[in-house]
Chains A and B, each alone.
Chain A
Amino acid sequence: MSESLPAPPSSAPASAPAGVIHDIGYRHYDGPRLSRGHATLALTVHSLRGVFGLGRTVRAKIIPFALFGIMMLPAVVSIAMMAMLKERGMAYSQYTVIMQAIPAIFLASQSPYTVAPDLRFRVLPLYLSRPVTIRDYVSAKLAAMTAALFLLLAVPLTVLFVGELVVDMPGPAQTSEYLASLAGAAGHAVLLAALGVAIASFTPRRGLGVAAVIAFYLLSSGVSGALVGMMESVGDDAAAAWAWLISPFFVVDAAIHVGVFGLDPAADSYPGGFGVAAAILIMLGLIALSVTALILRYRKAASR
């Protein structure tokens, strides 16, 4: 049947070359090649911008900036109180614990963004075809989330401190409380980021990741609150003091604000003596567990 068809007009004699490669001016890259560290840093900055919705659609910016705005409100109110009534509003070390719902929602809504799309669209091999290793990838994502949370927690504290200096409250400025609360903010940021990114990385679906992270927060704080109430109702104050440590926010408060800096606790009481060491151990243990889970998760994801 094919013989009956006329030969296509473009068919050349067999002796002509079958194909030609034209030089259309592509050039090799011969500039400097930056190291693995630069690639990791670039990934960190990219993820950090993405957490706040920079470089994404306008709709992606609404939620992080709205939460950031709510987080700033108590600082603004406190400055107004200091200026007009000469009274202190919220204590530095209790700021994060009192506002804990906001960083928790921020963590839940933004940490799936850092990990879920890469898992869902299976682009991990593209990252790993660069000098970036799994450890670099995981640490870049963790660093980005930690930095974002630290900004969310530390900027209101700093604004509050600057406000206190400008208003010029009677008595010495609470510089040491401010610095201790910054250390606490760093502790909160590291622990929450590790937990949130680790939980979110187990599902490639963003919606389920958000639900899982917020379920973890609500469950831990709900169980902690319920247990504290129960133990206090039967008069077991020592057990109630331990029950506070189930909530991640109070663990960091007990470990850093109370344990290291000796400030007033945000909860009623924490277990004394051995309890401080336990709070620090719980905090470090949770961070180590989350990072290990993340690395194992990504080893598996990268091998698929």
Chain B
Amino acid sequence: MNGVIAGISYRSLLGRRRVWLLVLLPVVLLALAVLLRVIGADGERATVTLLQTFAIGTMLPLLGVIAGTGVIAPEIDDGTVIHLLSKPISRPVVAQTKFLVAASVVAAFAAVPTFAAAYLLVGLESGVASGFALAALVGGVAYAAVFMLLGVVTRHAVTIGIIYAVIWEGVVGNFVPGARRYSVQQWAQTVADQVSSSVFLTTDIGIGFAVSALVIVVVGAVFWAGRRLRSFSLTGDE
């Protein structure tokens, strides 16, 4: 963890147009929750569906892509990463700092609004709010790690990230049950299921598998990003 790098990363993530996208997604979630409340469809079932499909299924991967790639990919894109890498700071520390920045931003923009939306609809009933907030937190941290690694590995990080999130987790996961075992969203929902006692939330992955998968993905992605930065070569593209 390096304070200066963290400060610069926060500024580049929150100080430009990127922040509007980060704000827009939670605002839409809260607006949907308010609308549900107003038209009186605020049962536990509707809440769980909204959180599963919109908060975890749409908002979380998008926030992960924007924040995870946003901490490092623009610097690599315009070459200023050279100034960062030429400083006497260990590359794994650079990767860890960038990861912590991305993870904290995703956590703040995903977990807090998820809790607020659920609290608005069902209060603290049967642990739905805290379960999904925890799911958004751990899912967001995992997405931040994976997409930061993608940002270091390839110039097309955002495209590959959304292909993973939309096609693999969205489409393939619906038709091929086996693919669900390798999906960050499903791991996060398993965590939510563990905390919440709601009968409307069912998952088919064991909590042991989900937690160990989350830990392996986060640690592995941050470690690999650090390794990758150690032997980084800045190549022109297009």
Contact = CB atoms under 8 A, between A and B. Distances in A.
- A-side interface size class: 35 or more
Contact of B77 (A63, A102, A109, A207): A207
A229 interface: yes
Nearest to B73: A207
B166 A105 contact: yes
Given A208-B18, A219-B28, A233-B45, 11 more contacts: A101-B170, A101-B171, A105-B159, A105-B167, A208-B17, A214-B158, A215-B21, A223-B28, A226-B53, A227-B32, A229-B46
28 contacts: A60-B238, A63-B156, A101-B170, A105-B162, A105-B167, A108-B159, A108-B162, A109-B158, A109-B159, A205-B77, A206-B77, A206-B158, A208-B21, A210-B162, A211-B65, A211-B66, A211-B69, A211-B158, A214-B62, A214-B162, A218-B166, A222-B58, A223-B28, A226-B49, A230-B36, A231-B39, A233-B45, A234-B40
Contact of A101 (B54, B70, B74, B166): B166
Q: How large is the interface on B (under 10, 10 to 19, 20 to 34, 35 or more residues)?
A: 35 or more
B163 interface: yes
Query: Nearest 3 pairs between A and B by C-beta?
Result: A109-B159, A222-B58, A210-B158
Contacts of A211: 21, 62, 65-66, 69, 158, 162
A38 to B, nearest CB: 26
B93 interface: no
Contacts of B53: 222, 225-226, 229
Of listed A210, A222, A227, A234, residue having the most chain B CB within 10 A:
A222
Interface in A196-248: 202-203, 205-208, 210-212, 214-215, 218-219, 222-223, 225-227, 229-231, 233-234, 236
B54 A212 contact: no
Nearest to B159: A109
B25 interface: yes
Helix, strand, loop or mixed for chain B's interface? helix
A212 B163 CA distance: 14
A233 B35 CA distance: 13
Interface of A: 56-57, 59-60, 63, 70, 101-102, 104-105, 108-109, 117, 202-203, 205-208, 210-212, 214-215, 218-219, 222-223, 225-227, 229-231, 233-234, 236
B218 interface: no
B82 interface: no
Contacts of A117: 238
B233 to A, nearest CB: 15
A298 to B, nearest CB: 17
B50 interface: yes
B238 A56 contact: yes
A57 B43 CA distance: 53
Nearest to B49: A229
Which has the most chain B C-beta neighbours within 10 Å: A63, A214, A231, A234? Answer: A214
Interface string B21-60: 1001100100010011001110101100110011001100
Given A208-B18, A230-B46, A215 B156 contact: no
Contacts of A233: 41, 43, 45-46
B107 interface: no
B143 to A, nearest CB: 13
Contacts of A59: 155-156, 237
B138 interface: no
A75 B18 CA distance: 38
Nearest to B50: A226
A222 B35 contact: no
Contact of B237 (A57, A105, A222, A230): A57
B238 A230 contact: no
A184 B54 CA distance: 28
Q: Which of B40, B46, B74, B238 has its CB near the most chain A CB atoms (within 10 A)?
A: B238
